[in-house]
Chains A and B, each alone.
Chain A
């Protein structure tokens, strides 16, 4: 095991662990935010630069500090490494810079965005953003497009994390969407009108950290914080059938995978519990599902500030 200190907390992790994953093992507020890294999708990370941290000492063997801030998601820990995240002003300043960059071309259309309330960019904005923009230029815009009949792509909101590309590469048999053009003109697209027709394509919605990819069966139906999430199960021959159903009254408004506090799909019985498109888009009748109980949303979002997690919720009354 390797000893590493992050924000004055010493932990032991396995060799080869990244700084970010070491921080997640330690838990608490020393965990850097991550907009593009997704532990369940190999090859992701390094792009958004929100997880930058300061390495004050490289290792016991070579205690020199690293001159630049490093992406904690793709830098492995060394024995005796000292990392500063919350405790580094330099990190906080530069992370603020990254958040500003992510927002300069963002439409800030949270009031009409389905992701509002569970958006990682929103969280970052609250924590590191400034109240006023310094961007006086015209924002870049794209027209929304359909990627198949169940997924809507709002490129204006995209931060180019490449997670959805990884989903298509790793969960589906043929990728039909990708990143086109380059620089600030880079966009997620299919280039030609092309439906993504695959049982697991809907997981792109779950991995999207912002409101760029949204569920067309749920669009504009409700704000997420008005819904009550329940862990639910169904018999499915394509996926685990373990999901979260988001209800209002007796109605199921949407179905998502079960996500942890970092917004990642949970591992259940040693497998990442991706859900199939049948479960996500088509099973909207409560009789499709067995409700297990209320799902706690363990992220500081407005959802968790809602009143759904009352004591009574152990016994979902609304369904009776």
Chain B
């Protein structure tokens, strides 16, 4: 069983209250940082830890922090991205609901490191009940001197506010989030300037995922080097994985990076295999935006080595035979699932969530959705399959923000690995309405 650095106490009764959280070692990182460390020393520990952004992009958090501009007399902000909306991802909700004080502790320690005195948690509006939990916890933190003026006598002041979104996946993109936080439509901004230079209200801003901010707590408590010893290579520490789909035991798991995919899907401590005794057909390992893998590339790489839960191993083989760790939204398909239907479903998601600002995404996502709808509903043609490939090549890389890529990759990957199933939908439209295609064969077995 892996070590748990984040959610070990998640099921302790009353852990959402300040008192119980404190009894279980809570707010130690705030004491350590504010009393014994300079802000730069905290940043240094985060750099040493090798922590990579847990929201999906995997950018080193310490490096992101070091880019923050610090002009004299200009306010800086830390903004927590709690807009968790990537299909397949529900770890942040679990963490915030169970351990609100862990996020608040991380916000205080991180804000101190960055010199932010006004920090925000932007949480998706659908999580309103979690927002209430956070509001209560923030009030407790103020009452106990962890927020507000002169925290723990250190002279450091911090105000923390939690505020809701209104239903928009795109606000998980950091500049769209900032626009939304300013009370506007969630249209991503043109970059540069990056938020580290011009962010919230034009002030230098760092935007971090909930889990990244929470991970700062064990990093400060135990030291960056100790944290970096967990995991493999550039995948250090622990990661929350949200497991969904056709599993015996879906849910949120904290794993040490480096665990084998085989163990994660079938192990007794994790998902315990495919539900209802069925076979694995496919897996999207990092949230709906990352490429889907057919069953024969899930637990093994194309080279035949064991596939591990790390940034590197899941990406092994590039887009030809690999995928990405992404946000850790691990979606599992059993043998009875229809890839065409699922691809259409996700395409509909992206079309629905496109902000509509730039033309390739606005028009391209809608177009792909309509073509996939026809393929799924029996009126597609073989040309449609190549048309989809063409459309997604014209979207990919050509948009303002990564939503375009996120919409294009899943379609490209589904066609790459499951072309036979798409063609079957075209050639046997009636049959495709009544039964599923079943498992595809690995090229070598064919």
**Footprint of B on A, CB under 8 Å?**
45-50, 52, 67-69, 71, 74, 94, 97-98, 100-102, 104-105, 134-135, 137, 159-160, 179, 181-186
Contacts and interface: CB of A to CB of B under 8 A. Distances in A.
Contact of A100 (B168, B356, B394): B394
Interface stretch (B208-216, B238-246, B362-370): B362-370
Contacts, number: 88
A182 B400 contact: no
Given A46-B190, A97-B398, A182 B367 contact: no
A304 B352 CA distance: 43
B389 to A, nearest CB: 12
A97 B387 CA distance: 12
A49 B359 contact: yes
A134 B389 CA distance: 13
B397 A47 contact: no
B367 A98 contact: no
Interface of B is mostly: helix
Interface in B355-411: 355-360, 362-367, 370-371, 387, 393-394, 397-400
Nearest to A181: B356
A48 B367 contact: no
Nearest to A46: B190
B353 interface: yes
B351 interface: yes
Interface in B307-359: 351-359
A132 B88 CA distance: 39
Contacts of A100: 394
Given A50-B359, A137-B371, A160-B362, 16 more contacts: A46-B400, A49-B398, A71-B400, A74-B190, A97-B393, A134-B387, A160-B356, A160-B357, A182-B168, A182-B354, A182-B355, A182-B356, A183-B355, A184-B363, A184-B365, A186-B355
B358 A48 contact: yes
Contacts of B364: 101
Interface string B177-221: 000000001000010000000000000000000000000000000
A47 B358 contact: yes
Contacts of A183: 351-356, 362, 365-366
B185, B359, B362 — which one has the most chain A CB atoms within 10 A of its CB? B359
A47 B359 contact: yes
Nearest to A93: B394
B394 A98 contact: yes
A61 to B, nearest CB: 16
22 contacts: A47-B400, A49-B359, A49-B399, A68-B398, A69-B397, A71-B190, A94-B394, A94-B398, A98-B360, A98-B394, A101-B359, A102-B363, A159-B359, A182-B354, A182-B356, A183-B351, A183-B352, A183-B365, A184-B356, A184-B365, A186-B355, A186-B357
B185, B352, B398, B399 — which one has the most chain A CB atoms within 10 A of its CB? B398
Interface in B405-439: none
Contacts of B400: 46-47, 71
Given A46-B400, A97-B394, A105 B356 contact: no
A302 B255 CA distance: 66
Nearest to B404: A49
Contacts of A104: 363, 367
B114 to A, nearest CB: 27
B367 A186 contact: no
Chain B interface size range: 20 to 34
Contacts of A179: 185, 356
Contact of B354 (A48, A50, A184): A184
A48, A49, A179, A186 — which one has the most chain B CB atoms within 10 A of its CB? A49
B366 A184 contact: yes
Contact of A98 (B185, B370, B398): B398
Contact of A184 (B190, B362, B398): B362
Contacts of A52: 398
B210 to A, nearest CB: 25
A268 to B, nearest CB: 30
A179 B356 CA distance: 10
A137 B351 CA distance: 15
B365 A69 contact: no
A45 B360 contact: no
Contacts of B362: 101, 160, 183-184, 186
B211 to A, nearest CB: 27
Given A46-B190, A69-B398, A183-B351, A98 B356 contact: no
A137 B360 contact: no
Nearest to B367: A104
Contacts of A182: 168, 185, 354-356
A181 to B, nearest CB: 7
Interface string B138-171: 0000000000000000000000000000001000
Nearest to A52: B398
Contacts of B399: 49
Contacts of A135: 367
Contacts of B365: 183-184
Contacts of B387: 134
A156 to B, nearest CB: 14
B179 to A, nearest CB: 13
Nearest to A138: B370
A292 B393 CA distance: 51
Contacts of A185: 356
B356 A49 contact: no
B357 A47 contact: yes
B359 A137 contact: no
A186 B352 CA distance: 11
Given A101-B364, A160-B362, A186 B356 contact: yes
A49 B367 contact: no
A181 B367 CA distance: 18
Nearest to A103: B363
B136 to A, nearest CB: 33
A24 B135 CA distance: 53
B356 to A, nearest CB: 3
Contacts of B353: 183
A52 B359 CA distance: 12
A67 B398 CA distance: 11
Contacts of B357: 47, 160, 186
B186 to A, nearest CB: 8
Contacts of B363: 101-102, 104-105, 184
A153 B357 CA distance: 19
Contacts of B367: 101, 104, 135, 137
